[in-house]
Structure 1
């Protein structure tokens, strides 16, 4: 297992992920149209189709996320960083593998949107709020497709670092020591850090919850109905708890990762 197998896995993700993200875009555009029509005309037929499209989109997001998980496992299995003998005297390990979190680079907005779709499915069935959130998520999915597509160029920064490593191995000169030292820091304090597996997902789950709070607050201001206030608080509680906990966890991570920095 090595660089060719990694490249094959990356290409495979791009191939199988492209139709998934394309269908997400198409369904999201239809979802946005139906949401707008329901808000304007209040016909249940529009809402019935809207809910079906939200279910389909949620399933597509989860399917794509499974593909991303598979790719991350393949990176772990195919890429091994074996440090030069001189460097091993300075660090506590002889080799490292990438345990890459599922919410970095172009994958973070995808994860955020997926969680938001799941929240919409489990929330109380308020048609007007769901229609409003349907428009928000339609715009969100469109932005992901064009600006943060995780299947177009999977993990570009990670890919650059892996390519740089194998390129340094092929040259066989002194650059391998510099590359290995850089990768050790990145792998230890970023990719494989326990904080990266707890801090960012807590924030993104909080953001997804607060999307519903935002929608409920908008309708509370418009309709003056206490029910919307209750919905807003119901989702604000876990949202702010996770947001606070995530920020508290991020503080010691920052100290550990940048402890030698002057600033």
Structure 2
């Protein structure tokens, strides 16, 4: 695929970005460790500058992913010979009869192209952790609490470590996507084979890669995950010591995260009907998402009774439980078969 898409260039520059992120993350993590176990502040201003640099590098890497996806859009159309296009359209017309959501007919003048969202495969980890970095930055300047800052910094360093060691989107770009489309562009296919492969690629292009909901449903969920992570940190500190400012910051992020989570789940509903018809209700990830939403909602409602004895600690426990439910929800698609298994 190198002759069609600049994979090497994308990987070389992207890996450089990951190394820069890792360097800054190590410094931020070391600062976090120092401040977590010291009673006085240390390196607060330099760490603030490092967080700004981390956020800028994250955004630069995200823009680089956007450039790469644009190259895919420009260079990888699913073009068909004219005689095969006519046969395909007659086949699609028959398929679409009586269907609630049919496939668009093939336009030879404008062959279908991949409009890939920026959070596919390992890119989703990059986007998720970038959202957390962008939230940790104002949280750092908002709170004058060295140990809370330290915990936020250490979590950010751990996330960059995951990117560097296990989820680098630049090391092997979109292996599942390229594995599926490579035969189309590199194989010597007969007309029958090309038609069969097109009918494998085209529905997934329309209902998954190019679905308009892909630009709203996943990013809203990952933004909510970043908010939940901040709430988790504050909840841990609330168990140790009762500080109103810490609780308020956790609650503010919880409100935003709950709104984003609810909106993201609602926007997933029409997409699920379109892509999977009615057979999606018992998908493991959807069931676990509803469980997480219920825990999240309970956490927010406990604030109404914050004046009651021990409610402070119960609310903190729910904030931690919500984070654990988020982790379970995310990994459920890797271990339990369902409609989200391939996501």
What TM-score, normalized to structure 1? 0.92
How do residues 124-163 of structure 1 correspond to structure 2 at under 5 angstroms? 124-126=142-144, 127-163=146-182
Larger Rg: 2
Q: Which residue of 2 aligns with 1:110?
A: 126
Q: Which residue of 1 aligns with 2:196?
A: 178
- Residues 164 and 261 of structure 1, relative CA distance in 2, 3 Å threshold: farther
2:105 to 92, 99, 106: 92
Aligned-residue offset at 1:87: 1.6
The answer to whether the 8 A contact 1:5-1:78 is kept is: no
Aligned-residue offset at 1:4: 5.4
Matched, 1:67 2:68: no
| Helix, strand or coil at the partner of 2:115 | coil
The answer to whether the 8 A contact 2:207-2:274 is kept is: yes
The answer to whether the 8 A contact 1:47-1:131 is kept is: no
Aligned-residue offset at 1:109: 0.6
The answer to whether the 8 A contact 1:112-1:208 is kept is: yes
| Helix, strand or coil at the partner of 2:42 | helix
- Please give the per-residue CA displacement for 1:43-65, whole angstroms capped at 9, x wherever unaligned: 43322232222122111111111
Q: Which residue of 2 aligns with 1:56?
A: 53
1:81 to 78, 82, 92: 78
How do residues 143-222 of structure 1 correspond to structure 2 at under 5 angstroms? 143-168=162-187, 170-222=188-240
Aligned-residue offset at 1:96: 0.7
Structure 1 stretches lacking a partner, 5+ long: none
Instruction: Identify which of structures 1 and 2 has the higher relative contact order when contacts are C-alpha pairs closer than 8 Å and 6+ apart.
Output: 1
- Please give the per-residue CA displacement for 1:16-54, whole angstroms capped at 9, x wherever unaligned: 111110121122122111101011124433222322221
Aligned-residue offset at 1:163: 0.8
Structure 2 stretches lacking a partner, 5+ long: 93-103, 283-343
- Please give the per-residue CA displacement for 1:226-261, whole angstroms capped at 9, x wherever unaligned: 221111111101101110111111122112112286
For the residues of structure 2 that align with 1:122 and 1:217, how far apart are their CA atoms? 18
What TM-score, normalized to structure 2? 0.71
Matched, 1:243 2:261: yes
The structure where helix makes up a greater share of residues is 1
Aligned-residue offset at 1:102: 0.4
Q: Which residue of 1 aligns with 2:34?
A: 37
